C-alpha cells in the first residue's frame, strides 16, 4: 500500500483525446510504426530481450567492434553495449558520407540579424562539408594538446561552429562540457574548476534580441578570477592553475581584449588545419560529455553520459518519436514537398535538448537539422512562424513556456504564415497545461498534427515517456507511455506499484542513455537518484542503494496506461492532509481566459499548515485597473479553480505579475517563488540559472490577496 508521504492526489479531470491522423492528413509519407499492436510487441521485447531488440533496431549504426551484450546492471551502475567500440561523430557524419549521402543537407543555420536585403543570413552544410569542418577543428584541438578523455569547455552562441566543436570533441574522444551562452562568468568558473578543463572555445559575442551578449568578455573575467584565486579549493585544477587556451570565433565583431599568451582566433587556426582527422575508436562506456544541471542548493551537478548508450537512445528516440524518414531535403526544395523532412528543435545546445535533438540524435537519423541563433520575437513576434514557412519545417520541437508566450502574443502572428509543411509537433522541458496544448494543436498544428509531449531529463539523455505519432491517441497534458527499453511505474516509497492515484515516478530498469554518474562526486550521484525506494529492504542492506532510479517527479497513470506528470515531488503541496501536485492547479488557472501562465507553490498557513500561493501572468489588456478589479479577478480565479478541480485546491494567495522567474531554458523556478510567497526578503538560494533578476524584485512588490 502507498504511504501517506508518497501518495499524491490527482484532481485534474481531462477527458479530451485525439486519434493519430493518417499520414496523408499531415503530409507525412508514412508512419514508421502505425499500430498499437506493433508498438506493444516492440516495447515488450525491448524489456524482455534487450540483446535481440537492440541488435535489430540499431543495425544501421556503425560499430568498429560489435558489442557482445546489451546491458549489465548492479544498482546504481549500468553498462550498455559491452565490448562494443564506436564513435558518435562517425555515426552522425562519416557513415552517411560513406553511404553516398555526403551531398545531402545535414545542417541548416539561420542567424538572428536581418540583413540590408530584408532577409536573414542562412548557411547550409552537407554531411561532407560538415565532416570537413569537424575534422579541421578536431585537428585544431589536437594541436592544442587535447587528447582522449580531456574536457573541453564550450561557451558559444547558437552558431554552426558550436555543433562543429561538439562533434570535433566526439571525434577524438575528448569530453565536451557545453555551458549555455547566457550564463555568467561565475558559472564558467564553477564548471571549469569542477571539470578540470584547460581549453575554452567561445565567440566574441552572441546575438540575442538585437543586442550582443559579450561572451569573450565573460570568459576573460572567468579566467582572470581563476588566475587570481590560483584555483583555490579546486585541488589539482589545471596545468599551472590557469586556462591554457581560449579559442574564439568572430561572430558579432564587438570589441574584445586579446591576450597573446592564451587567445587564438578560430579562423586563423582553421586555415592551417588538415581537412582529415581519423575517428577515435571509443569504448561504448567511454565518457562522451558532461552537462551541468543546477540543484536547489550546492554546486551544479556534472551529469556524465557515455558514447554507446547515449548514441543508441538518442538515435532511436529521434527516429520513432518524430517519425524521421531520411531523404533529400533542403530549404530550397520545390513544392509540392517530396518525402524529405527538415527537423527544428528550438532549444539551445547549452541544454540537453540541444545536445540530443539538434546534434546527435537528428544527425544520426540522417534528417537535416535546423539551428537558429536568436530569440523567437526578433525582430517581431512571428519570427518562428516565418522560419517554419521559409524552410518548410516538418517537425517542430519547442517548450511549453514558449507556447504560452506565443499565446500571449496572439494568434494573428501565426495566421500570417503558411505552416502546412508541419507533420509532427513536440513539447519538452516541463509539463504542458491542457489549454496551451490545445492552442498548439489548433493554431500551429492546424488541428491535425500529432503532438508528442516528451518527458525526460538531462540525466536520462533522451525521451522516456511519450506518445508515438502514428500509434497513440494523444491527451492534452499527458506525456504518454514508456519508450522502448523504459520500465516506468508509479510507486510508493517501498517501491510497490500504485494502481490508482498519484505517487512517485520510478524507473525500474536501466535504459541505454542513463546517466553514468555525477562528475567527480560518487556520493551525490547515489544520494540524489538511488536512495528513494526501499525495494525489499534494499536501503537496509548496508550500501543504502535502491534498485530503482528516482527522477524526482510525482505522477499518476490513467486506466489506458498514460502517464501524467504532477510536478517535482519537492513542489508537492500538503494542504490539510491532501498532497496536491502543482501542475494540476496551474492547469486549472491557465484554463481561465484571463490567465496565460501560472505557477503554484506552497506557503505557510496558520490553520492548514500549508496553503496554496498562485502567481499568474495575465493575457494582454486583462490586468485590472484598480484594487477592486484585482479583487474581483482573484475571486473569479478562486471560484474557477474550485469548479475545475475542487475546493481543496483553491489558492489562498494570488499575485499578478508580468513575468515569472525562469531558468534560461524556460523552466519556472518555483523554489524562488516559495520564498516570495513566504515573505522572505533576502533570497539566499542559488540563482545562477535565473534569466532575469529584476523579476524577483517586481514579485516582492506585487500585491497579494
CATH number for the domain harbouring residue 278: 3.40.50.980
CATH number for the domain harbouring residue 620: 3.30.300.30
Other CB atoms within 10 Å distance of the CB of residue 260: 6
Which whole number is the average pLDDT over 206-218? Answer: 95
Statement: residue 233 has pLDDT above 50: no
Query: What digits encode the pLDDT tens for the residues 608-666?
Result: 677 899 999 998 888 888 889 999 999 999 999 888 777 778 899 999 988 888 876 67
Q: In the listed set 301, 320, 354, which residue is the last one of a domain according to the structure? A: 301
Count the domains in the chain: 2
What distance in Å separates the CA atoms of residue 677 and residue 700, rounded to the nearest whole number? 9
Distances (CA, A) of 249 to 191, 204, 661, 689: 21, 6, 31, 24
pLDDT at 577: 59
Specify whether the CB–CB gap between 323 and 365 falls below 8 A.
no
pLDDT at 64: 98
Give 542's DSSP letter. Answer: S
Query: What digits encode the pLDDT tens for the residues 285-294?
Result: 999 999 998 6
**Does residue 213 fall inside a structural domain?**
yes
Other CB atoms within 10 Å distance of the CB of residue 619: 15
Within 13 A of 174's CA, how many CA atoms are on the CB side? Answer: 31
Instruction: Render 677-694 in DSSP notation, one character per residue.
Output: HTT-SS--S--TTBS-TH
What distance in Å separates the CA atoms of residue 555 and residue 568, rounded to the nearest whole number? 9
**3-state SS, residue 86:** strand
* The model's pTM: 0.86
Statement: residue 199 has pLDDT above 70: yes
Instruction: Render 321-368 in DSSP notation, one character per residue.
Output: HTT-------TTPPSSP-S---EEE-S-TTSHHHIIIIIIHHHHTT--
Q: In the listed set 301, 322, 346, which residue is the last one of a domain according to the structure? A: 301
**Does residue 623 fall inside a structural domain?**
yes
User: Between 211 and 9, whose confidence is greater?
Assistant: 211
Query: What digits encode the pLDDT tens for the residues 16-57?
Result: 999 999 998 998 889 999 999 999 999 999 999 999 999 999
Confidence of residue 352 (pLDDT cuts 50, 70, 90): very high
pLDDT at 360: 98
Query: What digits encode the pLDDT tens for the residues 132-154?
Result: 999 999 999 999 999 999 999 99
Q: In the listed set 301, 333, 353, which residue is the last one of a domain according to the structure? A: 301
pLDDT at 297: 47
**Does residue 317 fall inside a structural domain?**
no
Query: What digits encode the pLDDT tens for the residues 65-89?
Result: 999 999 999 999 999 999 999 999 9
**3-state SS, residue 666:** coil
Within 13 A of 520's CA, how many CA atoms are on the CB side? Answer: 18
Q: Please provide residue 466's backbone torsions phi and psi, each rounded to the nearest 5 degrees.
A: -170, 160
| Cβ neighbours of residue 275 closer than 8 Å, sequence gap 6 or more | 132, 135, 136
Pick the closest to residue 11 from 668, 692, 649 (CA basis).
649
**3-state SS, residue 601:** strand
Q: Where are the alpha helices (DSSP H) in 243-360?
A: 266-271, 307-321, 352-354
**Does residue 253 fall inside a structural domain?**
yes
Domain that holds residue 624: 572-701
**Does residue 101 fall inside a structural domain?**
no
What distance in Å separates the CA atoms of residue 164 and residue 170, rounded to the nearest whole number? 10
pLDDT at 3: 43
**Does residue 243 fall inside a structural domain?**
yes
Average confidence score pLDDT of the chain: 89
What distance in Å separates the CA atoms of residue 393 and residue 383, rounded to the nearest whole number? 13
**Does residue 212 fall inside a structural domain?**
yes
Question: H or E element: which one contains 288?
Answer: strand 287-293
Distances (CA, A) of 443 to 231, 407, 451: 52, 10, 12
**Does residue 457 fall inside a structural domain?**
no
Amino acid at each position: 500500500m502507498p504511504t501517506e508521504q508518497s501518495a499524491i492526489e490527482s484532481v485534474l479531470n481531462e477527458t479530451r483525446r485525439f486519434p493519430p491522423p493518417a499520414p496523408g492528413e499531415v503530409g507525412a509519407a508514412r508512419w514508421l510504426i502505425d499500430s498499437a499492436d506493433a508498438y506493444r510487441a516492440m516495447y515488450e521485447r525491448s524489456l524482455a530481450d534487450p540483446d535481440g531488440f537492440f541488435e535489430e533496431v540499431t543495425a544501421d549504426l556503425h560499430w568498429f567492434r560489435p558489442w557482445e551484450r546489451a546491458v549489465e546492471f548492479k544498482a546504481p551502475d549500468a553498462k550498455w553495449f559491452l565490448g562494443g567500440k564506436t564513435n558518435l561523430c562517425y555515426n552522425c557524419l562519416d557513415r552517411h558520407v560513406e553511404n553516398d549521402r555526403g551531398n545531402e543537407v545535414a545542417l541548416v543555420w539561420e542567424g538572428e540579424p536581418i540583413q540590408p536585403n530584408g532577409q536573414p543570413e542562412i548557411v547550409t552544410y552537407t554531411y561532407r562539408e560538415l565532416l570537413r569542418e569537424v575534422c579541421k577543428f578536431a585537428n585544431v584541438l589536437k594541436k592544442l594538446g587535447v587528447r582522449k578523455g580531456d574536457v573541453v569547455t564550450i561557451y558559444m552562441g547558437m552558431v554552426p561552429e558550436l555543433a562543429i566543436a561538439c562533434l570535433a570533441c566526439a571525434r577524438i574522444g575528448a569530453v565536451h562540457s557545453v555551458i549555455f551562452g547566457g550564463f555568467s562568468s561565475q558559472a564558467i568558473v564553477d564548471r571549469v574548476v569542477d571539470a578540470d578543463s584547460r581549453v575554452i572555445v567561445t565567440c566574441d559575442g552572441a546575438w540575442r534580441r538585437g543586442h550582443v551578449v559579450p561572451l569573450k568578455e565573460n570568459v576573460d573575467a572567468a579566467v582572470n578570477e581563476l588566475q587570481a584565486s590560483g584555483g583555490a579549493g579546486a585541488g589539482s585544477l589545471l596545468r599551472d592553475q590557469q586556462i591554457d587556451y581560449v579559442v574564439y570565433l568572430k561572430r558579432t565583431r564587438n570589441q574584445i581584449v586579446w591576450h597573446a599568451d592564451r587567445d587564438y582566433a578560430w579562423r586563423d587556426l582553421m586555415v592551417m588545419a588538415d581537412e582529415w582527422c581519423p575517428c577515435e575508436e571509443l569504448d561504448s562506456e567511454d565518457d562522451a560529455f558532461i552537462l551541468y544541471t543546477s540543484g536547489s542548493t550546492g554546486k551544479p551537478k556534472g551529469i556524465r553520459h557515455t558514447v554507446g548508450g547515449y548514441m543508441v537512445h538518442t538515435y532511436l528516440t529521434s527516429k520513432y518519436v518524430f517519425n524521421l524518414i531520411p531523404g533529400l531535403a533542403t530549404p530550397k526544395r520545390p513544392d509540392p514537398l517530396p518525402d524529405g523532412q527538415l527537423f527544428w528543435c528550438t532549444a539551445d545546445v547549452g541544454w540537453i535538448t540541444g545536445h540530443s535533438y539538434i546534434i546527435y540524435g537528428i544527425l544520426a537519423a540522417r534528417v537535416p537539422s535546423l539551428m537558429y541563433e536568436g530569440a523567437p520575437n526578433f525582430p517581431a513576434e512571428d519570427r518562428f512562424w516565418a522560419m517554419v514557412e521559409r524552410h518548410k519545417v516538418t517537425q517542430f520541437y519547442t517548450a511549453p513556456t514558449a507556447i504560452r508566450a506565443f499565446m500571449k502574443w496572439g494568434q494573428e502572428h501565426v495566421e500570417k504564415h503558411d505552416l502546412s509543411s508541419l507533420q509532427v509537433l513536440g513539447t519538452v522541458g516541463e509539463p504542458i497545461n491542457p489549454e496551451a496544448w490545445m492552442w498548439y494543436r489548433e493554431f500551429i498544428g492546424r488541428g491535425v498534427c500529432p503532438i508528442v509531449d516528451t518527458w525526460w531529463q538531462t540525466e536520462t539523455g533522451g525521451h522516456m515517456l511519450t506518445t508515438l505519432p502514428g500509434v497513440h491517441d494523444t491527451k492534452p497534458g499527458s506525456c504518454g507511455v514508456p519508450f522502448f527499453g523504459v520500465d516506468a511505474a508509479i510507486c510508493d516509497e517501498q517501491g510497490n506499484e500504485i494502481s490508482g492515484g498519484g505517487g512517485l515516478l520510478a524507473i525500474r530498469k536501466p535504459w541505454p542513455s542513463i546517466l553514468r554518474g555525477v562528475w567527480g562526486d560518487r556520493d551525490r550521484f547515489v544520494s540524489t537518484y538511488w536512495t528513494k525506494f526501499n525495494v525489499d529492504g534494499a536501503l537496509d542492506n548496508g550500501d543504502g542503494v535502491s534498485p530503482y532510479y528516482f527522477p524526482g517527479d510525482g505522477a499518476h497513470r490513467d486506466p489506458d496506461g498514460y502517464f501524467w506528470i504532477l510536478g517535482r515531488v519537492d513542489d508537492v503541496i500538503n494542504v490539510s492532509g491532501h498532497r496536491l501536485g502543482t501542475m494540476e492547479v496551474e492547469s486549472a488557472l491557465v484554463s481561465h481566459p484571463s490567465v496565460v501562465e501560472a505557477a503554484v507553490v506552497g506557503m505557510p498557513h496558520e490553520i492548514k499548515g500549508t496553503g496554496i500561493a498562485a502567481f499568474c501572468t495575465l493575457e494582454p489588456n486583462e490586468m485590472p485597473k484598480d484594487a477592486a478589479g484585482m479583487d474581483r479577478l482573484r475571486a473569479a480565479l478562486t471560484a474557477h479553480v474550485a469548479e475545475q478541480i475542487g475546493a481543496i485546491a483553491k489558492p489562498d494567495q494570488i499575485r499578478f505579475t508580468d513575468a515569472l522567474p525562469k531558468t534560461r531554458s524556460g523552466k519556472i523556478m518555483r523554489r524562488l517563488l516559495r520564498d516570495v510567497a513566504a515573505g522572505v526578503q533576502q533570497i539566499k538560494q542559488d540563482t545562477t540559472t535565473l534569466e532575469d533578476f529584476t523579476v524577483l524584485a517586481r514579485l516582492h512588490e506585487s500585491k497579494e490577496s
